[in-house]
Chains A and B, each alone.
Chain A
Amino acid sequence: MEMRAVYAECLAKFMEEDKHVVVLDADLAKASGTRKLYEQFPEQMFDCGVAEQDMASIAAGLSSYGFKPWIESFTPFATRRICDQIAISISYAKQNVKIVGTDPGISAELNGGTHMSMEDIGVVRSIPGVVIFEPVDETQLRAAMPVLNDYYGPVYMRLFRKVTPDVFGPDYKFDLFKADTLREGNDLSIFVSGMFTRDVVDVADELAKEGVTCDVINVHTIKPIDRETVIASARKTGAVLTVENHNVIGGLHSAVCEALALERVPVSAFGVQDRFGEVGKVPYLRQALGLTKEDILAAARKAASLK
């Protein structure tokens, strides 16, 4: 099932149960998977048109009136475009707005460089008070949605909107502020967020055959980062690699480095090397930007060798 379909299904349930849940679009309801909800919930769905700034501040106004707004757009327009509105109307004013950005990083594919945000986590992470969450599969998203809806305060969800490979099983227990350990090992800690998570698990299994065992930890919440888990793992293994579909500046790598600043451990970065994206399908983009599974494997071998 597409992630956006799961997301829309959850929103429909919230709106059904609570008239205070409202959803605002900036002309991308179709892309976000919520277009069909307009007929079902005409008094809870609002399309602001191509006006993301207005959408963000309107949501803040609705929140001040006791509503629980979700706003959605493509990742760059839900973050860098409305950075000041997130900062002032939403977070500084302590409003309860959920911000959903779809198509993070290279998953923007054919929309190309203008729509391909490599910096959104960095932009939002520097704003006090905003939780940043990036789900990796349907199971995790389903578990997270009610938690986000009940959490009072701004959350930015970086949502891959198409079908993702399964990472979590049916017994998965979600904690918004606790990272998930997917593999345990002694030679390298790999902290991963988003769409490369399944690949990292495969890479760890591959390395295990070579006698290199890894902690694989899905950092689904990049802010506030689960410092306890990150530090404990880094101390245990003595070498760290971060893997993300984002610029290596400002995102998961930066967050992990900040958490480990006082630890004596090498922290290697795998991600977008401070460049813009470009048009293309994901397989091409992974090749062009050095983000293939083989690249992850090579980076992990090198990172493990640094301890």
Chain B
Amino acid sequence: MNKDLKELCKDIRCDIMTCIGHLGVGHIGGCLSVVELLAVLYFEEMNIDPANPKMEGRDRFVCSKGHAGPAVYATLSNRGYFGKEELLTLNQGGTHLPSHCDMNLTTGIDMTTGSLGQGFSCAVGVALGSKLAKDGATIYALIGDGESQEGQIWEAGMFAASKKLSNLIAFTDYNKLQIDDTVAKVNDIAPLADKWKAFGWNVIDVEDGNDVDQVSAAVKQAKRNRTTDRPTMVILNTRKGCGVKWIEDLGAGNHNTNISEEQARAAIREIRGED
């Protein structure tokens, strides 16, 4: 099942390695951890049209952990929003692909994010807008686990439940790592599922957020939850740096990592299973 999506995840991972490798530094770990989610959303679930990126009533995706921009760009490029050659301009002066997502620069990006916590509130505003417009769109938002230490995340969570925004489906990239150390050691967010339940959300806990079949099933379940009058939080237990062993082994050190083009080429061979 979903063999094509699995191949697609490899393509997206390779494109992440290519563009960050070309630049020499970037947020590799938190890009690699969310690939399966992006593949499922952009290739399976979202009502979007790359030829008409501002289509009215389209589903929208807010990447509140804005530093995963390169993963979103790789996905958008594979989906046909822009050519793959553009990925090589990542973070170069004058690029349309900045490190953090920018709705005014990049075709297909629905919200400007990067100052953690804010994108999630913006997504709640978008979901409220869609509800007022009665256009039936589904609004997706991705937050980080470190980002979940921001108070604004919980302000937004409370408001979304209070306003019964069942058209909002959020995901936590629960890779358990942040810049300074493990999330548990820095400022623990556990028990995460209990917190979201207490905030009035449906919660789906996905055991392996890097298993595309599990992610796909969870998103389908979340969409069925629209009848419940509650927003849904899908907790994706992921691996930061997933797909490239040495990056994954860096642990908390893989948040923003230097990488040579040779290392990137080796990583691509590993992702392709060519080693």
Contact = CB atoms under 8 A, between A and B. Distances in A.
A59 B121 CA distance: 9
Contacts of A65: 125-126, 129-130, 133
Most chain-A Cβ atoms within 10 A of its Cβ — which of B112, B118, B125, B130?
Answer: B125
Nearest to B163: A46
Interface stretch (B86-94, B153-161, B182-190): B153-161
Chain B interface helix/strand/loop/mixed:
helix
Contacts, number: 103
Interface in B141-165: 151-152, 155-156, 158-159, 162-163
B168 to A, nearest CB: 11
A87 B158 CA distance: 23
A85 interface: yes
Contact of A58 (B104, B122, B130, B132): B122
B103 interface: yes
Contacts of B132: 19, 22, 43, 67
Contacts of A49: 158-159, 162
A89 interface: yes
Chain A interface helix/strand/loop/mixed:
helix
A61 B123 contact: yes
Contacts of B24: none
Contacts of B104: 93-94
B17 interface: no
Interface residues of B, number: 33
Interface in A38-83: 43, 46, 48-49, 51, 53-54, 56-67
A208 interface: no
A19 B134 CA distance: 13
A58 B90 CA distance: 29
A7 B103 CA distance: 32
Nearest to A60: B122
Contacts of A63: 125
B112 A53 contact: no
A88 B118 contact: yes
B61 to A, nearest CB: 12
B256 interface: no
B121 A61 contact: yes
A66 B122 contact: no
Contacts of B126: 61-62, 64-65
Chain A interface: which size bin?
20 to 34
Contact of B129 (A66, A87, A89): A66
B125 A57 contact: yes
A27 interface: no
A93 B187 CA distance: 30
Interface string B102-116: 111000001110110
A57 B115 CA distance: 11
A57 B128 contact: no
B124 interface: yes
Contact of A64 (B125, B158, B159): B125
A60 B110 CA distance: 12
12 contacts: A46-B128, A46-B163, A57-B120, A60-B125, A61-B62, A61-B121, A61-B125, A62-B126, A62-B129, A64-B110, A65-B125, A93-B104
Query: What 3 pairs between A and B have smallest CB-CB spacing?
Result: A61-B125, A65-B129, A57-B121
Given A48-B155, A93-B104, 10 more contacts: A51-B152, A51-B155, A51-B158, A53-B117, A53-B118, A54-B121, A57-B125, A57-B152, A58-B156, A64-B129
